[in-house]
Structure 1
């Protein structure tokens, strides 16, 4: 899996972010064909340790 072209925002899964914002990933799919990594994510959750949002302490 490639890294997202833009930095993944804190609290977001890198794979989910990339698949949602990079149209080239799903372009090769046929009509009504599911993306296997997306289906796996929907069934099993995100396999990545998602970074937390930065603390806003003062």
Structure 2
């Protein structure tokens, strides 16, 4: 998947979650086995409505 694909999620998907799942650079700053705070904040379907692609 390209960076452009990672920046253009399909309808119904969270922009942040899609990017973090498909862009290699999203988690480069983390240490091995370190949780991403942004991903943890969205676990369990806790996505702000403004981040969902309509």
TM-score by length of 2: 0.71
Q: Which structure has the highest helix share of the two?
A: 2
**1:41–1:51 distance in 2 versus 1, CA, 3 Å:** same
Give, in whole Å, the separation in 1 of the partners of 2:14 and 2:45: 13
Tell me by how many angstroms 1:27 deviates: 1.5
TM-score by length of 1: 0.67
Give, in whole Å, the separation in 1 of the partners of 2:35 and 2:22: 17
After TM superposition, the structure 1 stretch with the greater mean CA deviation from structure 2, 38-47 or 9-18, is: 38-47
Query: What is the aligned length?
Result: 49
What stretches of structure 1 move > 3 A for 4+ residues in a row? Answer: none
Q: Does 1:36 align with 2:37?
A: yes
Name structure 2 gaps, 5 residues minimum.
none
> Cα RMSD over matched residues?
2.1
Give, in whole Å, the separation in 2 of the partners of 1:27 and 1:51: 25
